[in-house]
């Protein structure tokens, strides 16, 4: 009895709690997975822990005995769909997590997304590494209009979107980064568009939006585009974009629908804006990896852009204004790819070699997902 009392004094109450369910995360690849957000099916947890109190449980790392940050993911549903956890898993190893009763810590917000009506219908999203925005209806037809994704480089792990819009001076580096990326009439940092009759068929900007989840570990939202004429084909599009904590790349799931023969394949391209000055370029058609280390912009540093396709790439090439990767889709069938950016002044990815290696490793991680089981 005295021994138990002594242990209770030196050990947090959480670790004395009874484990209600065990999550095993297995990494069978040769790549260490660092700060990776892992999706755990909520129904599988309920099977092991049917009386779980969603406001009173913790996830514990079996080795460190510390709480693991988690998020309840709803995917725009009233019910929980998944639990997201951010973990490190070394190559060829397993990680065990315990679900127990207890009061969760307040987790740092590492992702954020929102509609920005005060700035001409922008939609912006960010994580602890990088930030992006795209454009809405209000900017159409103006000299500011742009078709692609914009990048806001940052060198802080704090969320900066709200502060930058509040300052209304985001083209100046106030110590945490800035917006100096140029989109123009290109697909910018990896947007996608139909490619019909050897021509990119840009849509108008998004006209509707919906936030599905918003941090702390993953933010997901939808952008809805009105019907447009894509070289004689009337097309609608819904783009579901998610960004995980720790990642340089967003996951993009696009659904194009059209009234023509639905068995017909529609060519589409992912594009990256190219600068007039020389930069370093990676076009790996076989692996579907397209990377660009831009020329340095004087005092603002160097931005890196990259896209990874998960569907077969039929061609990659460079034209006067952008790098392009072509694939095909069918009406109402989702097409998934990843696109994003990095900044050398953030101090993490500081040259083209490191950026291209990051993209290649990311591609391997997509092809070798972590295995998750519940006991």
Which of 148, 150, 147, 179 lies closest to 163 in space, CA to CA?
A: 179
Beta bridge partners of 322: 273
Is residue 14 predicted with pLDDT exceeding 70? no
Helix (H, G, I), strand (E, B) or coil at 95: strand
Which of 325, 329, 335 lies closest to 305 in space, CA to CA?
A: 325
| HEC profile of 201-230 | CCCCCECEEEEEEECCCEEEEEEEEEEEEC
- State percent of the chain over pLDDT 90: 91
Specify the CATH architecture of the domain 14-106.
Sandwich (2.60)
Work out the average pLDDT over 329-357: 97
Tens digit of each residue's pLDDT (9 = 90 or more) over 195-240:
999 999 999 999 999 999 999 999 999 999 999 999 999 999 999 9
What pLDDT score was predicted for residue 13? 44
Tens digit of each residue's pLDDT (9 = 90 or more) over 129-167:
999 999 999 999 888 899 999 999 999 999 999 999 999
What pLDDT score was predicted for residue 17? 67
Which of 200, 222, 230 lies closest to 331 in space, CA to CA?
A: 230
Which of 189, 172, 259, 219 lies closest to 75 in space, CA to CA?
A: 219
Beta bridge partners of 373: 24
Is residue 302 predicted with pLDDT exceeding 90? yes
Using omega within 30 degrees of 0 as the cis cutoff, is the peptide bond preceding 196 cis?
A: no
Work out the average pLDDT over 309-335: 97
Distance between CA 146 and CA 150 in Å, rounded?
9
pLDDT, averaged across the chain:
94
Tens digit of each residue's pLDDT (9 = 90 or more) over 160-201:
999 999 999 999 999 999 999 999 999 999 999 999 999 999
pTM: 0.94
Is domain 111-367 given the CATH code 2.70.98 in the classification? yes
Sort 189 into a burial class: Cβ within 10 Å, 0-12 / 13-18 / 19+: buried
Which of 333, 293, 331, 327 lies closest to 310 in space, CA to CA?
A: 327
Please state the domain extents for the chain.
14-106, 111-367
Is residue 11 predicted with pLDDT exceeding 80? no
Signed CA dihedral, 206, 208, 209, 210: sign only: negative
Of the pLDDT bands very low, low, confident and very high (cuts 50, 70, 90), residue 255 is very high
What pLDDT score was predicted for residue 1? 42
Strand order in the sheet with 19-27: 57-61, 93-101, 19-27, 371-374
Weakest mean pLDDT among 115-124, 136-145, 335-344, 346-355:
136-145
* C-alpha dist (Å) from residue 42 to 76, 88, 152, 185, 213: 15, 21, 34, 43, 15
Pair 112, 219: CB distance under 8 Å:
yes
């Amino acid at each position: 009895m005295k021994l138990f009392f002594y242990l209770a004094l030196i050990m947090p109450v959480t670790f004395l709690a009874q484990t209600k369910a065990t999550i095993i995360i297995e990494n069978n690849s040769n790549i260490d997975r660092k700060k990776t957000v892992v999706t755990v099916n909520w129904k599988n947890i309920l099977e092991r822990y049917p009386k779980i109190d969603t406001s009173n449980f913790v996830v514990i790392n079996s080795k460190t005995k510390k709480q693991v940050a988690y998020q309840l993911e709803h995917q725009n549903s009233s019910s929980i769909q998944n639990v997201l956890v951010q973990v490190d898993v070394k190559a060829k190893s397993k990680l065990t997590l315990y679900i127990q009763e207890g009061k969760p810590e307040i987790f740092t917000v590492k992702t954020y997304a929102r509609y920005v009506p005060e700035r001409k219908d922008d939609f912006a999203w960010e994580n602890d590494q990088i930030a992006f925005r795209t454009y809405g209806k209000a900017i159409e037809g103006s000299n500011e209009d742009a078709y692609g994704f914009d990048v806001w480089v940052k060198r802080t792990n704090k969320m900066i979107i709200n502060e930058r819009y509040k300052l209304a001076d985001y083209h100046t580096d106030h110590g945490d980064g800035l917006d100096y990326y140029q989109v123009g009439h290109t697909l910018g940092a990896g947007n996608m568009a139909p490619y019909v009759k050897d021509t990119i068929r840009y849509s108008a900007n998004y006209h509707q939006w919906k936030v599905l989840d918003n941090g702390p570990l993953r933010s997901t939202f939808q952008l809805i585009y009105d019907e447009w004429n894509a070289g004689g084909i009337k097309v609608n599009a819904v783009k579901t974009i998610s960004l995980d904590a720790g990642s340089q790349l967003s996951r993009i799931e696009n659904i194009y629908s059209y009234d023509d023969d639905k068995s017909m394949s529609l060519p589409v391209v992912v594009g990256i804006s190219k600068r007039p000055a020389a930069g370093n370029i990676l076009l790996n058609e076989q692996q579907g990896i397209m990377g660009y280390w831009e020329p340095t912009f004087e005092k603002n540093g160097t931005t890196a852009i990259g896209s990874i396709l998960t569907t077969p790439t039929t061609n990659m090439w460079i034209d006067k204004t952008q790098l392009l990767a072509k694939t095909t889709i069918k009406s109402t069938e989702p097409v998934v790819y990843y696109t994003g950016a990095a900044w050398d002044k953030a101090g993490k990815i500081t040259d083209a070699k490191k950026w291209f290696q990051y993209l290649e490793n990311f591609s391997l991680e997509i092809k070798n997902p972590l295995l998750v089981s519940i006991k």
